[in-house]
Structure 1
Amino acid sequence: MNGDEDLPGRDWLAAELADTLDEEYELELEDVAISAEIARIYKEKHPNALDRVTYMHALIRLQSELIKLQDWVVHSGEKVVVLFEGRDSAGKGGVIKRISQRLNPRVVRTVALPAPTERERSQWYFQRYVPHLPAAGEIVLFDRSWYNRAGVERVMGFATEDQVEEFFRDVPEFERMLVRSGIRLVKYWFSITDEEQQFRFLMRIHDPMKQWKLSPMDLQSRVRWEQYTKAKEQMFARTNIAEAPWYIVEGNDKKRARLNCIDHFLSMVPYGPVPHEEIHLPDRVFNPSYERAVLPPELYVPSKY
């Protein structure tokens, strides 16, 4: 194929890339500081941060592989569960967005459960998580998981030490049961430093579009940093099992953390090419006697933009 014949394809690719960049830029706005001073401080703290072009090229390549993984999961009937844990503001939500951004929400869904109800608190601890586990051909991303009991519930006093001990006894066998049932279970812990968390909290405090992310619980996590550290260390010691080990993602650099996590996740699933039927756009059926009705103008959304 000569250059002229290839032009429409390259034009399409350029348009798709531009559209992709627009979408990603919209997501990236959450990382843009609202003042020049905060931007300056952020740059000083992250002098080796990836530039946007390098990051975007790597992200798009990884997302194209995620689509192949998704197709393989559907074709093979696999069941995949990924847990994302870490301190508040560690970047769990950001990587979950980038994983699911271009995937089918009927195949890949995110579970972020609220605080348990009074009824749920009286149930077997794992009971409220079980309904969200995947069926064949599904991937479930848990934005926090049953490990709440080993972290926030323990540190904030929402669970007794007896309940925590019972959790540590039960969770290895619970996860082994999941693996034996055919679920691929991957567990990530996003790790950031004390200084980085403080900086991200300050950014949220001074950004009206991010203040909703700060809860009283988040602020308490700053006060109880060392307690969370001890709880995390014991959690690793008691729940890092061969069938479902923990993987730690260095999270101080958000962009690198996202790329590294997605790349590692792809390596954890033995996906491969699957057969696809060639897609043909059918011709529209044209009925010469049909006349399109004129709808009243009040039904239309006003064109303000």
Structure 2
Amino acid sequence: MSKNRGSTPRLDDADLSLALDRSTYQRQLEAQQRLLTRIQQAYLFSGRSAVIVLEGWDAAGKGGTVRRISAALDPRSFKVWPIGAPRRYYLERHFLLRFMERLPPTGAITAFDRSWYGRVLVERVEKLTPQERWKSAYREINDFERMVTDDGTRLVKLFFHISPEEQLARFEERLRNPLKRWKLSYEDFRNRSRWDDYAVAIDEMFERTSTDYAPWHLIPANDKKHARIAAMKTITDCLGKGVDLSPPVLDETVLEAAREHIGLSPSLIESLAGRTE
């Protein structure tokens, strides 16, 4: 397994004091959403594909980030898969099957709100999977991600980290707010009681599965605004690296049809031919 150990994160590395004021957040959000739109267009026309993995503590802000990403992208080539407990069909098959079936087609971007890492997190901590099977999952996951990236799909893995105190405050907010109450469940409190066990599992997950071809990115998320921008910048950096984001050149047949049906001036048609910005 190829590793880049110098970049392997640990939960203690996260500076949870990082925050953004509202005006800075709004300005950067708009810039990142515009960039995401350009990246999606480039992927559509170049045939690239990408997978975004979002993991994190309960109430860490994954959903809010997904909503801001989704607002910038055309849903015809962007799909979000919320991952919960597998149904019986998948329980009887290899745990990676349901994720393989949801990988993006050519030109598309897919986001997993929780992912195959449940095998070495919740299934490990809650003892839902025998020890020998979740231990072997580290190798299976690395092989799977190598296969995905070797096939040309870019993979971005984000983990949203908050403090236990911030999580409890968000639970209380969900309890008090009728529009957010649906997000709160008994399992949230039960999982919280195993915080230390999950922290150990998370750090081992980073150590065993943060590779040079699919590194983990730790997102400090006590401040929701900072977390959203940090996550989106990581995504645009990874997906946009080495990709030509110039607008596509218009096909000559499109220009000819425009000349015939819209009555554009010859000078405008000429300026659009081969135009890249």
TM-score range, shorter chain: 0.7 to 0.9
Deviates more, 1:205-214 or 1:184-193: 205-214
Cα contact 1:192–1:250 (8 A) shared by 2: yes
**What are the superposed Cα offsets for residues 251-286 of structure 1, whole Å, 9 maximum, x if unpaired?**
111001111111121111223213254896x67xxx
Please say if residues 81 and 186 of structure 1, whose CA atoms lie closer than 8 Å, have aligned partners that are also in contact.
Answer: yes
Secondary structure in structure 1 of the residue aligned to 2:83: coil
RMSD of aligned residue pairs (Cα, Å): 2.1
| Aligned mates of 1:215, 1:65 — CA distance in 2 | 36
Q: Per-residue displacement from partner, 1:71-119 (whole Å, max 9, x unpaired)?
A: 0010110010010001101111111111111210011110113311122
User: Is residue 15 of structure 2 the alignment partner of residue 77 of structure 1?
Assistant: no
Change over 3 Å in CA distance of 1:196–1:123 after alignment to 2: same
The residue aligned with 2:205 is 235
Contact 2:156–2:216 under 8 Å retained in 1:
yes
For residue 188 of structure 1, report the CA deviation from its aligned partner: 0.5
- TM-score, reference length from structure 1: 0.74
| Among candidates 231, 247, 255, match of residue 274 of structure 1 | 247
Q: What does residue 97 of structure 2 align with?
A: 127
TM alignment of 1:132-143, pairs within 5 A? 132-143=102-113
| 2:100 is the alignment partner of 1:114 | no
Distance 1:123 1:132 in 2: 15
Alignment match, 1:94: 64
Alignment of 1:1-305 (within 5 A): 49-269=19-239, 270=241, 271=243, 272-277=245-250
Paired residues of 1:83 and 1:188 also in contact (CA < 8 A): yes
Of the two structures, which has the highest relative contact order with CA contacts closer than 8 Å and spacing of 6 or more? 2
Name the counterpart of 1:16: none
The structure that has the greater radius of gyration is: 1
SS at match of 2:172: helix
Q: Is the 8 A contact 1:191 1:250 kept in 2?
A: yes
Asked if the contact 1:75/1:274 (under 8 Å) is kept, the reply is: no
Distance 1:66 1:169 in 2: 32
Q: Is 98-107 or 154-163 further displaced after alignment?
A: 154-163
Percent identity (aligned): 38
Runs of 4+ with deviation above 6 angstroms: none
- Structure 1 residues not aligned, in runs of 5+: 1-45, 284-305
**Partners of 1:276 and 1:111 in 2: how far apart?**
33
Q: 2:94 and 2:83 mapped to 1: Cα distance? A: 16
Cα deviation, residue 144, structure 1:
0.4
Shift of 1:49: 4.9
- Judged with a 3 Å threshold, the aligned counterparts in structure 2 of structure 1 residues 48 and 143 are, in CA distance, closer, same or farther, namely closer
How far apart, in 1, do the equivalents of 2:184 and 2:125 lie? 18
Where 1:106 maps in the other structure, the secondary structure is helix
Shift of 1:243: 1.1
Equivalent AA in structure 1 for residue 50 of structure 2:
V
Query: What's the CA shift for 1:234?
Result: 1.1
Secondary structure of the structure 1 residue equivalent to 2:75: coil
Q: Deviations over 1:5-57 (max 9, x none)?
A: xxxxxxxxxxxxxxxxxxxxxxxxxxxxxxxxxxxxxxxxx998534333222
Distance change (3 Å), C-alpha of 1:149 and 1:48: closer
Q: Distance in 2 between matches of 1:51 and 1:235?
A: 32
Please say if residues 58 and 188 of structure 2, whose CA atoms lie closer than 8 Å, have aligned partners that are also in contact. Answer: yes
Counterpart of 2:212, as a letter, is A
Q: Find the counterpart in structure 2 of residue 293 from structure 1.
A: none
